[in-house]
Amino acid sequence: MLRSVGTSRNITTSRRVVAVMRLQGDLPTADKHQRRSGCALLLDAKGVLWATSLLECLTRFCFVISPTLLTNLESCTDAQPRMSATVRNPFQHIVEPLDLNDPKQQFYNLSKLGDPRYARLPFSIRVLLESAVRNCDEFLVKRSDVESILNWKQTQTQTVEVPFRPARVILQDFTGVPAVVDFAAMRDAVTKLGGDPEKINPVCPADLVIDHSIQVDFNRKSDSLHKNQDLEFDRNRERFQFLKWGSKAFKNLRIIPPGSGIVHQVNLEYLARVVFNQDGFFYPDSLVGTDSHTTMIDGLGVLGWGVGGIEAEAVMLGQPISMVLPEVVGYKLSGKPDKFITSTDIVLTVTKHLRQVGVVGKFVEFFGPGVAQLSIADRATIANMCPEYGATAAFFPVDDVSIQYLKQTVLKVCLHFCIYLGREAEKQAYITKYLKAVAMFRDYTDVAQDPDFTTVVELDLTTVVPCCSGPKRPQDRIAVSNMKTDFEACLGAKQGFKGFQVAQKHHNTVVPFHFNGSEYFLSHGSVVIAAITSCTNTSNPSVMLGAGLLAKKAIECGLSVKPYIKTSLSPGSGVVTSYLKESGVMEYLSQLGFEVVGYGCMTCIGNSGPLPVPVVEAITQGELVAAGILSGNRNFEGRVHPNTRANYLASPPLVIAYAIAGTVKIDFENEPIAVNCEGKAIFLRDIWPTREEIQAVERTFVIPSMFKEVYEKIDQKVNKRWEALDAPSDKLYTWDPKSTYIKSPPFFDGLTKKLQPPKSIHDACVLLSLGDSVTTDHISPAGNIARNSSAARYLTNRGLNSRDYNSYGSRRGNDAVMARGTFANIRLFNKFINKQAPQTIHLPTGETMDVFDAAERYQQAGIPLMVLAGKEYGSGSSRDWAAKGPFLLGIMAVVAESYERIHRSNLVGMGVIPLQYLAGDTADSLGLTGRERYTIIMPEQLTPRMIVDVKLDTGKTFQARMRFDTDVELAYFRHGGILNYMIRKMS
């Protein structure tokens, strides 16, 4: 048995030491030290020594560094720990062939565990259990971890930490570029420390889909797609060249080129295996991704969720995720939706409901007969918005509908790391056979299969009504019948999530303007952006064909969309374009201005492009609350476009409907959507397609050959500009000091092998005092770079014109730009200045300045920084730069009432301390103004979620909880972050 004996500092010389060994990772807390002669000492990555018998040492860990004394032991505590052999899996006895006729194809038969608890586990927890059983080595994954998962019913509320090794990782280019930059910089750092740089290499399969770079610069024209793609390549050539280098330099990293589609739809239609068949073993497909909407794949029965970029990098390097075993909320669906209801209406209803229930940090697992009424596309839509309702995962176990989807979709996936020969009948058969063998195949109509849940909530689908969400948050659902009154109420309400604080006398402001030779009028609520966009909806044939059928009926009724409204259609993959064309509805979408503008996220992530100048001038002149309507998943302030203060999420058919109406101030039930040229009033109900109409078209035109044709093109290398792109093939990247896109980050400057003790924070100043729901968009903007920003000044000083600034997202490979873009969102509300602006007060001088400039002045004076925040700090998209940026600004700690899960993890990964007020405490209740100086003394012995004192220069002290939730997170913090930890491991 392993026994902790403290650190190398307190080992007595009376101990007879036979061997000293260094091990990978951190060993768990053990019982008290018992002296015994002839022991071996094991040294873990923290410098903690463990005693065991030499026999156990040799048989379990197999690698003795030296049968020596403890000479210079302290100096070697940070050297690379290694093991040279794999311990036999203690669950080897449950391995058996799936087919007796093919004994080499095996699986871990969890049903043979002989434990009745397994049959009661939620299906999502069974996936975690299988991973633990298959990867159990009594080192990174232990039998005790398996027991903790099996005992989920008791351990779910006990903050029990378990490891999880996902089967693969998926990235998009906004988060993927900085990940590859980090890998390149880590290779440099390992080289400087005398290690082998090629050890920095993905060992977990990874796909990177380039989908975040394209912008809606051109629209409404048949050549918009090609023009936008050309501009995308011209702007991002340097980034793309770097990514192509990465695909050559790193093993197991596959790049899906630009123009292929949105990452989550490509994952759903093309990359998902459902069941892996690799190295002679079957096991469930699972993944983590560097995008919060990775959860979309849960709709197919593949467990996945979003993580921070730095956490994903560790997984790619072979580290398991350390996670607190979650509670699982059972979400029971019953009934059948009305014929006019879309999947978007359902997911917006679910989002509001689960926000009210409170599912942050939990899994949600769907069950009940209503699930059987939903297609995989509908389920994927619901799973996609999991981050919006706050859960970690939103799981739909595999059933017959899942298998039917596999028959419909991709026939071939060929990866660098394995060959998976398709979803044809033979493969579908083993998928079904394996999942049934391990009790992971679901019949939603069989209540006997319903597992135990932490709690159960229910939605009757018959109660769902057409709805939108907004104007500033996705969880703020509004019935379409109430949109007009809700907007009018928001107009005059106090500034907030549901208020714009426009004076009553200005509510009827109308501003005339000229566009293309004609006069038009804008008022509050006028629609200026209408975008069918985002992975949430463009992957769903029912809503996309519904939009097309509505467009057809609208054209036939003589309706149109005003030409100044920026309309766009950005499908999630080429499959969407194929069935829209084949079904004959694409021409009607085009006539309304919804031409295909690109295959990527586009408007949903802020890549909406410029509005016409006369429109911007009219909005500015009248100080109008103009509206954007989009089929996306995020509508936070400042995200969609700087000039659309109100943004609403809606189904694709409703996007077209509001575009035709030209305003969100309309009651579709009682007011006509428009009057045609013949003077006839047309109501929305006159042109709205029924669910049966849509399904009839879908059955005819959404066919397997479309998926095959589209995805075969990726392997056939039809993206000529990508294939022609020249990229170096060296193992170490040659950094260009003149580059404004790709720059070696300073994270590893001065890194040494020797681990330094955690430093306390003395007399820190507060850089920002923030309120509730500060999103990663506020912290790390993804939209265009404002011409008056710190980032713009940096780029201008390097010879760039404003038209070449591109977006923050495209420049995530350059830390100098991203540090200057941190907290640069124009909608950031800082209590210090009591208004929305990307500015703060430099407290020592009282000057108001840009956040970066203030942080730079603090750093020059050697003053550490903190941030005060309210609830849900860091909600929104998973962005590693929302943690990296604050780190580079000199922010050492954040004190908040609560955190979004991924962002808290990212802060830990960068060595920033996430502190949480104790229950009932807030900055206001504690009387904190943010103008105090703060001191946090770090104890020598750190434990997960421990409470520490925060001392103020006023003499006051309050307590806060350090949100290092696991021992592994503490290990990362001690090393200064997860990347430093990995470099020391590899050196």
The predicted-structure confidence for 701-757, as pLDDT tens digits, reads as follows 988 888 888 888 775 565 788 888 988 889 999 999 999 999 999 999 989 988 888
Lowest mean pLDDT among 61-75, 456-470, 577-591, 675-689: 61-75
Residue type for 235, please? R
Query: In 3D, which of 519, 545, 831, 900 has the Cα closest to residue 694?
Result: 545
pLDDT at 507 over 50: yes
DSSP assignments along 103-121, one per residue = TTSEEE-GGGG--TTGGGS
Task: Give the confidence band of 204 by pLDDT, cuts at 50, 70, 90.
Answer: confident
Segment 538-582, tens digit of pLDDT: 889 999 999 999 999 999 999 999 999 999 999 999 999 999 999
pLDDT at 594 over 80: yes
pLDDT at 11 over 60: no
State the distance between the two ends of the chain, measured CA to CA, in whole angstroms.
29
**CA angle, 755 as apex, 752 and 757 as ends, to 5°?**
130
Can you say how many angstroms the Cα of residue 299 is from the centroid of all Cα atoms in its chain?
16
Segment 37-48, tens digit of pLDDT: 334 444 443 344
In the prediction, which pLDDT does 607 show? 83
Q: Which residues of 150-164 are buried (b: 16+ CB within 10 A; e: fewer)?
A: bbbbebbeeebbbbb
What's the CA gap between 324 and 929, in Å, rounded? 34
Using a cut of 0.95, tell me whether the model's pTM lies above it: no
Segment 356-373, tens digit of pLDDT: 999 988 999 999 999 999
> Between these two residues, 605 and 821, which has the higher pLDDT value?
821
Mean pLDDT of the chain: 87
The whole-number average pLDDT for the span 421-428 is 58
The whole-number average pLDDT for the span 329-347 is 93
Segment 435-447, tens digit of pLDDT: 999 999 999 999 9
Segment 824-854, tens digit of pLDDT: 998 899 999 999 999 999 999 999 999 999 9
Task: Give the confidence band of 424 by pLDDT, cuts at 50, 70, 90.
Answer: low
The whole-number average pLDDT for the span 914-919 is 97
> Helical H runs in 250-342?
263-266, 309-316
| Helices 652-661 & 541-556 angle (0-180, nearest 10) | 30
Residues 6 or more apart in contact with residue 524 via CB below 8 angstroms:
487, 491, 502, 507, 509, 624, 625, 626, 665
What's the CA gap between 170 and 207, in Å, rounded? 5
Segment 216-260, tens digit of pLDDT: 999 999 999 999 999 999 989 999 999 999 999 999 999 999 999
Segment 153-190, tens digit of pLDDT: 999 999 898 999 999 999 999 889 999 999 999 999 99
User: Which helix (H) or strand (E) element contains residue 406?
Assistant: helix 400-408
What's the CA gap between 179 and 906, in Å, rounded? 13
CB atoms within 10 A of CB 415: 15
In the prediction, which pLDDT does 20 show? 36
What's the CA gap between 986 and 371, in Å, rounded? 46
What's the CA gap between 894 and 535, in Å, rounded? 32
What's the CA gap between 588 and 326, in Å, rounded? 47
The whole-number average pLDDT for the span 29-41 is 34
DSSP-derived letter for residue 863 is -
pLDDT at 87 over 70: no
Segment 447-461, tens digit of pLDDT: 999 999 999 999 999
Lowest mean pLDDT among 110-119, 778-787, 884-893: 778-787
Task: Give the confidence band of 374 by pLDDT, cuts at 50, 70, 90.
Answer: very high
